[in-house]
Structure 1
Amino acid sequence: MPEVLDLTFFALAIPAVIFAGVSKGGFGSGAAFAATPLLALILEPGAAIGLMLPLLMLMDVTALKPYWKRWDGPAAWALILGAVPGIALGAALYRVTDPDVFRLLIGVIALGFVGFQAARKLGLYDPAARHMSLAGGRVAGLVAGLTSFISHAGGPPAAVFLLSRGLDKTTYQATTVITFWAINILKFVPYAFLGIFTWQTAKADLFLIPFAVLGVWLGVWAHRMFSDRAYFALTYALLTVTGSKLIWDALT
């Protein structure tokens, strides 16, 4: 974290947090983790994920009410149970890797998300064409737990499983909300144990709380009113640029 929370920090952090909140609220679902690569451009990777986790947990709680009990319970449980060993693996990796490795991983995950979504849009890959069992959901949960620990990017592996089950738009979003509410709670303890949270990240979070809540409200409203095509186009552009920059920084 920068020693001073200056204009440059807030100029990037405020839009990133609103962006994540909109996705958590159900508009452009799965793109909430775009905030982490954006923040990792100006912060150490550990500070970026530590800053975002409390805000994501707040977003989860804010989004629970409009989607309460509208989720697919067995699917959510499969993902949550699978995420536990994935989170443990992420914690083990964090202890033995340096920040550049995490920059590289965050960048690769960002570009991987763009590739996953592009393949779906072009018809090269259709998760809905295959019905995954609950055992497959636990495998998807393991991957989601790992990528969520590294960069709050558990959305794509969870989406592969959930889309295969043919859920309607709202059930899909509700299942995502309850799943990552639980996964983020599970991540909190290892984050604290590993020293990922600091007083500076806590101070920054206090300033950013209103923007997190605002983003979720905007997302819930937009989920009901609009197609998320334009939002995803913006997400892809941001992630392509930031992912490429993080990979470049890590390798050079």
Structure 2
Amino acid sequence: MPLNERDRIEILMMIGVGDRMRTQQEVCRLFHEMHPDREPVSQSTVSRIERKYRELGHVRDAPRQGRPKINENVQQDVILSALENPHCTVRQVSRDLNIGKSSVSNIFKKVKYHPYRVRLIHELAEDDFDRRTEFCEYMMDHNNQNNGFIANILFSDEATFFLNGHVNRQNTRYWSQENPHWMQEYHTQHPQKVNVWAGINFKFHQPPLARYVNEELYAGVICIWHQASNCAPLEYLYKSSRSRVGSGKCATTQGRHYPTL
């Protein structure tokens, strides 16, 4: 147990003055007799307390230095770095201003700056907005006519993997006090890609596909699903989703074959 200031003064009194001084060994034994429930002090501790009193005239603890406070100029430099380049990283600011990364993070936190991540979105054509409204009106109309219509919808999702470079959301940020709703178009719907696709609806799920997805394969997946579940008429699907399905011609039971999945 560390000694407080009162313990050190008590040890000095045990040492004594003039002809009534005790040896360090005697002081250690006397301190232990007076405080049997505490950890015994060593002779080196007694010697250090006595030397400190002779040199400084007291046995108080030295004031703690602590970590130096960051001045206002440094804080302003950090904030200006974020304003001039909102995409900067903590490491870059730390290196440019020659201060610790934790200090940079603390300053950003103090001024309520947050590293917002980029949101990746698909490219939208000019007529996509009208087609989206048309599709919503169609779905609402059919759902009013048939309450079970929504249960026949296949909800699908896909992950795209590129062989060339693409946006890495983990390495992109935007420092700001408010969400800038930063978005970036990172690829189009053209079939120059490798997709992993999966779909699920009320009745069954379509296992994931991990291969090159082109117009023919995508159309085949939709046609197979249409046979397994009663859903929206394919005629409307081809009309409203022509750009995704491709040419709009899909294999049916009238003598054509589905693409090999």
Above 0.5 in TM-score?
Answer: no
Sort the TM-score into its range (normalised by shorter chain).
under 0.3
Which protein is richer in strand relative to its size? 2
Higher helix share: 1
Larger Rg: 2
